[in-house]
């Protein structure tokens, strides 16, 4: 049948029982498949890990700036790696580093969730924070014209001070 129509017999699903085939132009099939693959790649989001580095001796303004950067990264849909490097004798005061990272986690709040709690790797303390899943709000129900007309006089009837 395919030869009569001068088309190709294209195997669509070889693993199905029986295998699914279609009579069509093979070049057109490849073009449409490539086009759909490109569209799928265009719509996918590549998650990038952005790093925000702190020090044990970080000042308040520097902390706020880096916290705002982290919130912005999370808002863009990227993960954030908050790292803090201990230098020299600072290793004796690891609790100060944990306080800074835990404070960051609390300050970020609803912008992200902790993927890896703060942990030490060598002289570096780090935590990874992932963005919150965006909840798509439901479309607001449209009010009926009769309800809006009834509500308008009630607002206008309130006495002005």
Question: The tokens of 24 are what?
Answer: 């069509």
- For residue 89, the enclosing domain spans 49-131
What's the DSSP call for residue 123?
T
**What does the pLDDT read at residue 110?**
85
| Residue 121 belongs to a domain | yes
| Residue 154 belongs to a domain | no
Same domain flag for 57 and 111: yes
Same domain flag for 63 and 124: yes
| Residue 150 belongs to a domain | no
Region 122-133: what's the mean pLDDT?
91
| Residue 105 belongs to a domain | yes
What's the rounded Cα separation, in Å, for the pair 16 and 91? Answer: 61
| Residue 161 belongs to a domain | no
Give CA torsion, residues 58, 95, 130, 128, to 10 deg.
90
Mean predicted lDDT score pLDDT of the chain: 83
**What does the pLDDT read at residue 161?**
47
**What does the pLDDT read at residue 159?**
52
Length, in residues, of the chain: 161
Strand partners, 4: none
| Residue 86 belongs to a domain | yes
Determine what percent of the chain is predicted with pLDDT higher than 70.
83
Residues 57-105 pLDDT 10s? 999 999 999 999 999 999 888 999 999 999 999 989 899 999 999 999 9
Give CA torsion, residues 72, 75, 81, 87, to 10 deg.
20
| Residue 1 belongs to a domain | no
| Residue 94 belongs to a domain | yes
């Amino acid at each position: 049948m395919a030869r009569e129509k001068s088309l190709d017999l294209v195997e669509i699903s070889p693993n199905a029982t029986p295998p699914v085939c279609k009579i069509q132009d093979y070049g057109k099939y490849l073009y449409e498949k490539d086009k759909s693959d490109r569209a799928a790649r265009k719509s996918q989001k590549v998650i990038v890990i952005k790093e925000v580095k702190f020090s044990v001796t970080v000042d308040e303004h520097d902390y706020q700036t880096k916290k705002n950067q982290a919130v912005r990264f999370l808002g863009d849909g990227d993960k954030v790696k908050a790292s803090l490097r201990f230098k020299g004798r600072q290793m004796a005061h690891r609790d100060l580093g944990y306080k800074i990272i835990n404070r960051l986690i609390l300050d970020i709040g609803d912008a992200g969730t902790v993927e890896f709690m703060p942990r030490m790797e060598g002289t570096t303390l780090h935590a990874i924070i992932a963005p919150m899943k965006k909840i798509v709000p439901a479309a607001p129900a449209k009010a009926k014209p009769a309800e809006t007309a009834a509500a308008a006089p009630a607002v206008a009837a309130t006495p002005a001070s």
